[in-house]
Amino acid sequence: MKSRISTATEVLNSRIEKVWDAITDNENWQWRSDLQNLTILSDKEFIEYGKGGMEIHFTITKKEEYKVYGFTMDSKYFSGEWIGNFENLSDGKTKITFTESLVYKKLFLRIFATLFINLKAIQDVYMRDLKNKLNE
């Protein structure tokens, strides 16, 4: 099946440690406007509960401090992968690049998602929430 891929890049006015901590700390997820809850299953697995009720199971596959954070995702509608790359810039800023790749489990979902679900807009909400969390 064909996957949908979306990449977002942002330069933040925060030190890499602060950005890393905000993104990887699943115990403090409340800054995310798209979530209603998050359950930590282990140090490698967690479930996000979206405001619309969707549950997504995550398994962390890469976690190299201040460099890369990655996981697989699985829901009843899609599966996929998310990878975040972190770059420490010389002026105390941080460049982040997130790439999300999704495969929808049924043909009609792929068609519906292509027409009505904007992955870039979802990433934009995440970036806006992250900037708010970082007081930017």
Domains in the chain, number: 1
Q: Give the pLDDT band of residue 83 (cuts 50, 70, 90).
A: very high
Distance CA 136, CA 52 (A): 27
Q: Taking 90 as the threshold, does the pLDDT of residue 121 lie above it?
A: no
pLDDT of 53: 87
pLDDT of 96: 98
**CATH number of the domain that residue 97 is part of:** 3.30.530.20
pLDDT of 9: 97
pLDDT cut 70: percent of the chain above it: 93
Q: Which domain holds residue 28?
A: 4-134
Classify burial at 59, counting beta carbons within 10 Å of its beta carbon; exposed 0-12, middle 13-18, buried 19 or more: middle
Query: For residue range 22-57, what is the model confidence (pLDDT) as tens digits?
Result: 999 999 999 999 999 999 999 999 999 999 889 999
Distance CA 28, CA 38 (A): 9
Report the DSSP pairing between strands 55-64 and 45-50.
antiparallel
Eight-class DSSP state of 67: T
